[in-house]
Structure 1
Amino acid sequence: MAYTRYSRKYWRETLQAYLFLLPSIVILGIFVFWPIGFSLVLSFFKWDYTSAEKYFIGLGNYKELFRMSYPISLNLLYAILNTAVYALGALLSVRVAFYITASMTKYSRPKRKFSLFYTILFVLFILFYLVKAANPGFSVLWLLFSLLFIGYFIYVIRRYRKDNHITMMRSKSWTTLLLFIVFYIVFAFWLSRSGDELISYFRLAKESSDFLKAIYNTVYYVILSVPTQIGLALIIALLLNRNIKFKNLFRTAYFIPFVTSVVAVSLVWQWMFNDQFGLLNYFLSWFNINKIAWLKEERWTIPTIAMVSVWQHLGYTTVIFLAGLQNIDRSYYEAADVDGANGWQKFKFITWPLLSPTTFFIMIITMIGSFKIFSQIFILYQGLPGPVNKSGLTLVYYVFQKFYDEQRMGVASAAAYMLFLIILLLTFLQFWIGKKRVHYES
């Protein structure tokens, strides 16, 4: 009887809880879940407002997104393999640099067996460059050396991934990333000088496909805005976390742009970007720099949008960082003071590791928000995707154009789900990296 009474009470309370949630569930179902499901179905149909009929075309809308108006001179497979070899060559160079550094120390000398493996990899990499220089186009010999280098590199890493030398190089994550970027730029752009990797491929392809141009512009915007916003917000949060005068006033001042209307913010920046009497060009004139047509030149389109977005969302990111800083137990810093640690050592070994959960959260929400950029473009350029040549066309703007201007709901739905897949893959990648890099205070 006790079990029966408990069971009835449990089901009664559960029913009451769902009855309280029912209004929210109904509203979410009508305005969120149903449109999401319907748009997924619609992405497989050809339908627009000019015709009352809609019919199933399968993946036709998705194929149309990547269809080019004219062929380009660079082969996609060729670009992918070149990018893979350049990236692995840059990683090999980083490992060799750490290998040489470790060989000069007394306590962390790597094993001799790495000399043979690195030598073979380096020889294969040089052979790849020689074959590529002799045969600029796609060739069987070039393909053979590319696959041989990639396969052998993967074999070495898989076989010795648990070696102490590999672990030592992984621990220097920021140094590794910086050196990797430098070596990749050297191999892909300076030594190659042929523009045959994925970045060059998208530069050519974006002029032949609006959807690829939207992807290119969106990724360019994300690369500009996300690191800048996170870096500036962290610096400001560290300053506001100190004992300074008018601290609350500064916090409010930085947060106000975030709660201000996007339209108002964009209109103010539209005036500031004016090439004749704008505030930015007025400041540049102090340093005898010629006026810049911020809103008229194609090359400044994405940077201007990034500047507006970073300024508007900087306060929110700063507040989140500030909350994370204040959540760190002061006893860690007191112990560091006793040990004689300086400010940089405190940041490196206490603040940054314990702030990693906050940074992880900020990176995810900032990246997702950056991929959905639209309002600033629409206001700054008065309803156009940039001043010329659709230089401000982003993924969300592409969806808006296909749905609102061209009234092609099937293509718009397909583009929306491609955006969803891109964000989903990048979010999963961040979660995978976060498992190894995020440290939670115990």
Structure 2
Amino acid sequence: MGIPAEWTILIVTLSIAFLLFLTQKVSKKVLSRGKYRKVKESTEAYLYLLPSMVVLAIFVFWPVIYSFILSFYKWDFQNQANPIFIGLKNYTKLFTLKHSIDISFNTAFFNTLLVLMTYIFLMHWIFDIKKIKENTYRKMIISMSLLGIIGVFLSNLLFIAAVIISLIMVFLYTYLSAKKFAYNTNDKLMGRLILFAIVYTISVKIGVVEIINFLNAAKEESDFIKSIWNTSYYVLLSTPITIFLALLIALLLNRKLFGKTVFRTIYFIPFVTSVVAVSLVWQWIFNDNGLLNYILGFFGLQKTLWLKDAKYTIPTVAIISIWKLVGYYSVIFLSGLQNIDKSYYEAAEVDGANTWHQFKFITWPLLSPTTFFILIVSMIGAFKVFSEIFVLYSGMPGPYNNSGLTVVYYIYDKFYSEQRMGEASAAAYVLFGIILMFTFIQIKAGKNKVHYDN
């Protein structure tokens, strides 16, 4: 029988402590007094940190490493004593469809890529054409735009060639613009969003099969893809609304308001309340004869089957999460608002700026670090939604058809119910990769938008 992992970590830790202690004793005889003092301070610091590192190694680092190794093994109830190494099969099994669908992933992928390329071309053309004076580069931008638009109507083989050419031209354009024309990426966000909405709407109207169509069809043939779909829907629905309401409440609480300390406490109470208790209360509110349907009936509206209709599963969970988290994020926003120097607002009032201008040019830019922090934290938390669904639907992933199946619920079901620990570990690391990707995108996008100095 081998040595348990916990004992191995403990033995290694004690060995490190002994080596640090031995290093301190040896350095006293070898090094000068000044260098010895520096080594002594460093050694003592590491020795103080060692107990915490032991706890983290046993309960955090080792489980993370072991679960990653486990994701490459077939370890279920039948192979619990002797796991079988199967490579990437656990990962491929997650995305395997039960039945084939009419939409090809390659076609959907390349169509989506070309729609995005079209958007990028048009965005550069519209926002940067005035900055480029040489006719040669203007022609290149126009040709790039036309290539992206025409590429949508081409066949699959020409799609690949168009994508490669488009990527090369985008790279050349970006490089030359940054090199010679001081390319500026700080375009107006609203204009970009409107342009993207126009391009995407046109692509949908002309029948372009893109990745959303593929996922919409594939989610009915794969539980894991459906869990990603439901989780993404929940994140897109709950995160923006939570941040908007939290900012609005923080702005109200930051004003001279009678009894605002009491209101702060009231808004913060849901966050410290147990998720189980919150979900049970909302289960009663959403019930067929619950409070919400009673209010609807009072106004003469038809009752809604909140907990029995699959299309309301994610919205009901989002409502609970928004209600629970909005107070917590409001307090964080309020802290950021109170750290803004009042002299900025006084100077703005002297210059005749109204409330909207003060918010747009003072509050919002100086609140960007707080907003950036809340955006990342709220997004990561939204991807890990589980407890609300589990309690609200009494241990089931929605009323029917897995309408409330999220990635964390899928991991729980594979690990706890089906005893397939290898597949559960693989799903956990796919979720980790998704969160890491979105976090990286947010960090890169916010690098030039976040101002850390007041």
TM-score (norm 1): 0.88
Matched, 1:82 2:144: no
Matched, 1:60 2:74: no
- Give the match for residue 254 of structure 2: 241
- Give the match for residue 206 of structure 2: 192
Give the Cα separation in 2 of the matches to 1:147 and 1:234: 43
Q: CA deviation at 1:35?
A: 1.0
- Give the match for residue 183 of structure 1: 198
Matched, 1:391 2:403: yes
Matched to 2:56, the amino acid is L
Q: 1:327 to 1:48 in 2, by over 3 A?
A: same
Give the Cα separation in 2 of the matches to 1:154 and 1:427: 24
Could you tell me whether the CA contact under 8 Å between 1:90 and 1:187 is conserved in 2? no
- Give the match for residue 60 of structure 2: 32
- Give the match for residue 404 of structure 1: 416
Which has the higher mean CA deviation after the structures are superposed, 311-320 or 115-124? 115-124
Q: 1:27 to 1:127 in 2, by over 3 A?
A: closer
Give the Cα separation in 2 of the matches to 1:41 and 1:256: 41
After superposition, give the CA deviation of every residue in 1:172-192 in whole Å (9 maximum; x if it has no partner): 432134213421331232x22
The 5 A counterparts of 1:14-413 are 14-51=42-79, 52-95=81-124, 98=127, 111=133, 113=135, 116-129=139-152, 131-132=153-154, 138-145=155-162, 147-149=164-166, 151-161=168-178, 167=184, 170-189=185-204, 191-193=205-207, 196-274=209-287, 276-413=288-425
SS of the residue corresponding to residue 448 of structure 2 reads helix
Give the Cα separation in 2 of the matches to 1:109 and 1:21: 55
Q: CA deviation at 1:117?
A: 4.0
- Give the match for residue 437 of structure 1: 449
After superposition, give the CA deviation of every residue in 1:188-216 in whole Å (9 maximum; x if it has no partner): 32x2235x111111111111111111111
Give the Cα separation in 1 of the matches to 2:413 and 2:131: 59
SS of the residue corresponding to residue 436 of structure 1 reads coil
Count of aligned pairs between the two proteins: 424
Matched to 1:243, the amino acid is K
Matched to 2:206, the amino acid is S
Q: 1:54 to 1:282 in 2, by over 3 A?
A: same
Give the Cα separation in 1 of the matches to 2:384 and 2:192: 27
Q: CA deviation at 1:127?
A: 3.0
Give the Cα separation in 2 of the matches to 1:245 and 1:417: 49
Give the Cα separation in 2 of the matches to 1:266 and 1:128: 49
Could you tell me whether the CA contact under 8 Å between 1:65 and 1:415 is conserved in 2? yes
Q: 1:313 to 1:162 in 2, by over 3 A?
A: farther
Matched to 1:23, the amino acid is P
Q: CA deviation at 1:355?
A: 0.8
Matched to 2:233, the amino acid is Y
Q: Which runs of 5+ in 1 are unaligned?
A: 103-107, 133-137
Matched to 2:191, the amino acid is T
Matched to 2:108, the amino acid is A
Q: CA deviation at 1:98?
A: 4.7
After superposition, give the CA deviation of every residue in 1:54-98 in whole Å (9 maximum; x if it has no partner): 121111211211111112211112111211222232344445555
Q: 1:37 to 1:153 in 2, by over 3 A?
A: closer
TM-score (norm 2): 0.86
SS of the residue corresponding to residue 32 of structure 2 reads helix
Which has the higher mean CA deviation after the structures are superposed, 321-330 or 41-50? 41-50
The alignment's C-alpha RMSD in Å is: 2.6
Query: Percent identity at matched positions?
Result: 49
Q: 1:285 to 1:110 in 2, by over 3 A?
A: farther
